[in-house]
Amino acid sequence: MADDEADPKPRPASRQAPGPVRVAVVIIGAECVALVVAAIVLIAKSITGTPGDLARALITALFALAAAVGLAFGARALLRLRSAARSPVVVVQLLALPVAYSLAFQADRIAYGAPILLAALAVIFLLFTPPARQALDRD
């Protein structure tokens, strides 16, 4: 009786994430793996080579690892249908768009920028499809 008073509309425990949310989580997982690999490469190149600025290379690697951890937590929360998780994940994806554009078109590194751009756009699209909105929108 006390549980019903605290939460008038409890969500069913067996409710699963809809397909678009699961696909978005898979893409976010791939982004996490890519960020970890990028951090490892930066650290390895810093140790074995002579970077122009060792501190900047290590800080960039640390930032990539932190972003991977943050995205992983966001993906986990999305999979658990936590409505508050969508906003930070979308913000990170929106921040990835100028990075992807810069890499693909300004730095002429299409092989790096295009996957980032496509992944960010796909996650944003998937999280705003009707099934995802229905599952993640607050009541």
Average pLDDT per block of 10 residues along the chain, 139 residues long: 46 72 96 95 84 81 94 94 91 94 93 94 95 86
pLDDT of residue 14: 53
pLDDT of residue 39: 93
- Using CA atoms, how far residue 133 sits from 11, 16, 91, 136, in Å, is 15, 14, 16, 5
Using left for φ > 0, alpha for ψ between -120 and 50, and beta otherwise, residue 37 falls in: alpha
pLDDT of residue 9: 46
pLDDT of residue 87: 92
- Using CA atoms, how far residue 68 sits from 52, 64, 137, in Å, is 25, 6, 25
**65/63 Cα distance (integer angstroms):** 5
The model's pTM: 0.83
pLDDT of residue 139: 66
Amino acid at 106: Q
DSSP-derived secondary structure letter, 10: P
CB atoms within 10 A of CB 102: 14
Dihedral angle sign, alpha carbons of residues 35, 41, 45, 47:
positive
What six digits make up the tokens of 18? 């809809």
